[in-house]
Amino acid sequence: MGGWTLMEMWKILFGLLFTRWPSCGIRMDTNTGAPDGLCSTFVEPYYSKYDCHEYSTVTPDGFRLGLQRINSRSDSGQKGPLLLNHGVLNGGDAWVLNSPDEFDVSPAFVLADAGYDVWIGNARTTRYSYGHEKLTEEDEAYWDWSFDELAAFDLPSMMYLVHNVTNKKIHYIGHSQGTQSALAALSEGKLIDIVNKVALLAPVAYDSHIWTPLLAGAAVLHLDQLVKMLGFNKFSTKTPQGKQYVDLICQEGNLDCDKDYVTAFTGTNCCFNYSKFPFYDQYETQSTSTKNLVHLAQLYRADKFQKYDYGAAENNQRYNSIYPPAYDLSKVPTQNLLLVYGGLDPLADLVDVQRLKNELSPGYKYLFKPNFAHLDFIVANNCKQQLYDEVMAFFEDEQNMGITFFENLASNGDTGMQ
């Protein structure tokens, strides 16, 4: 936490408790219905190059998830289906923010151009999903979820929709929490029958060594207790409460968030086009449940990769144990698994990634990007050459493409690609 004292953290707590929320001139992130759709907003302007179709699926607990299918008109998905899954406080549009006409073209377009049948997933409550069959945003139950539900319900619902439409096994690319939900699901034997190869970018299982103020501050504050006191169910940096929380974190951490919000919370991204930040800020960040952030804070404090901790009594009812069960990473299939991580990423710190690597079974491959921070994996300049050529080599046949991946040798200080 950069030497923050407990007193400084409690100042943030009291700021949240007693601040009168102003009517700030900020965009309110309340529309999860997305009447315009991701396709019409980001892809249809390039209709001469790409087909884009909207799909939806309903999770077992009633959330309507949006998916978008993008194909190049010149190469219509002959390399098979590939699902892209975003991270926390992002939505599916993170994969298409940069247009195909730009040097920093987005990953979804790169992959479609290469011949993949690209599907973009959108988790519950994000902009390009479509609410709930019965609940509204005003209902507490609408926000009663964490990444446990993303792993148990959202990811399987999206994957089986893609499989049912294409009748093919699916490649998967997850970023940030999109890796966390995949690791949790795979560790419990989900999706194994329909998944092909899996690439996890900025992989997160353990998070005890994060050094971003937003999440580390939440963990030190025991955000779960704070939520009970204040009754916050939704977290968004676009609401007055969320913005005030971020402002207080920045103030107490001596962070110039007005000047460099991105670096303050995602690290020094080597290849991020900072001149485009005002455009990105129109779409990101997106809302998540406060319970989801509470869960991440619990992992930080417990130093474990485990299910949500409801307290001894409710844990016993849910799990038949007073402690939440851990996700067993040794059960994740690894023969078709690639980990890609950065040297400057405060959210997927090298110590936490190394622990993940040590607990996975043998067989996976990995790449190390020493200059990458957390956002470089999705919005890097020239992302094709910087990263996605290598990811596609893994999906195809890297031995024929002149690329050598490291396999898990359980050595300290490994540096990824040779």
Looking from the CA of 112 toward its CB, the CA atoms found within 13 Å total 27
Q: What are phi and psi of 129, to 5 degrees?
A: -105, 175
Among the listed residues 132, 207, 374, 376, the single catalytic one is 374
Indicate if the pLDDT at residue 377 is higher than 90: yes
Q: CB of 123 within 8 A of CB of 129?
A: yes
**Where residue 56 falls among pLDDT bands split at 50, 70, 90?**
very high
Q: What is the pLDDT of residue 125?
A: 95
Bridge partners of 82, per DSSP, are 118, 171
**Where residue 242 falls among pLDDT bands split at 50, 70, 90?**
confident
Q: What are the residue boundaries of the structural domains of the chain, listed by start?
A: 31-235+267-407
Indicate if the pLDDT at residue 400 is higher than 70: no
Q: What is the pLDDT of residue 413?
A: 41
Closest Cα partner for 198 from 332, 337, 335, 86? 337
Question: The pTM is what?
Answer: 0.88
Measured distance CA(300)–CA(279) in Å, rounded: 32
Measured distance CA(11)–CA(73) in Å, rounded: 55
Measured distance CA(352)–CA(30) in Å, rounded: 34
- What CATH number is given for 31-235+267-407 in this structure? 3.40.50.1820
Closest Cα partner for 122 from 90, 160, 77, 165? 90
Indicate if the pLDDT at residue 248 is higher than 60: yes
Mean pLDDT, to the nearest integer, of 179-189?
Answer: 99
Among the listed residues 72, 129, 176, 181, the single catalytic one is 176
**Where residue 417 falls among pLDDT bands split at 50, 70, 90?**
very low
DSSP-derived secondary structure letter, 207:
-
Q: What is the pLDDT of residue 180?
A: 98
pLDDT tens digit string along 273-314? Answer: 777 777 777 777 888 998 998 899 899 999 999 999 999 999
Higher pLDDT pick, 25 / 286: 286
**Where residue 12 falls among pLDDT bands split at 50, 70, 90?**
low
Indicate if the pLDDT at residue 108 is higher than 50: yes
**Where residue 258 falls among pLDDT bands split at 50, 70, 90?**
low
Among the listed residues 117, 309, 345, 376, the single catalytic one is 345
345 is known as an active-site residue: yes
Q: What is the pLDDT of residue 147?
A: 97
Indicate if the pLDDT at residue 139 is higher than 60: yes
pLDDT tens digit string along 327-341? Answer: 999 999 999 999 999
Q: What is the pLDDT of residue 276?
A: 75
Mean pLDDT, to the nearest integer, of 265-272?
Answer: 78
Indicate if the pLDDT at residue 22 is higher than 60: no
Q: What is the pLDDT of residue 10?
A: 52
236 is known as an active-site residue: no
29 is known as an active-site residue: no
**Where residue 26 falls among pLDDT bands split at 50, 70, 90?**
very low
Q: What is the pLDDT of residue 252?
A: 65
Q: CB of 261 within 8 A of CB of 48?
A: no
Q: What is the pLDDT of residue 145?
A: 97
Exposed/middle/buried for 140, CB within 10 Å: 0-12, 13-18, 19+?
A: exposed
Q: What is the pLDDT of residue 397?
A: 76
Indicate if the pLDDT at residue 27 is higher than 60: no
Q: What is the pLDDT of residue 31?
A: 32
H or E stretch including 107? helix 107-113
Mean pLDDT, to the nearest integer, of 379-404?
Answer: 81
Question: What share of the chain in percent tops pLDDT 70?
Answer: 79
pLDDT tens digit string along 193-232? Answer: 999 999 999 999 999 998 876 667 667 767 656 765 677 8
Q: CB of 361 within 8 A of CB of 330?
A: yes
Indicate if the pLDDT at residue 7 is higher than 50: yes
Average pLDDT, the chain: 84
Higher pLDDT pick, 316 / 281: 316
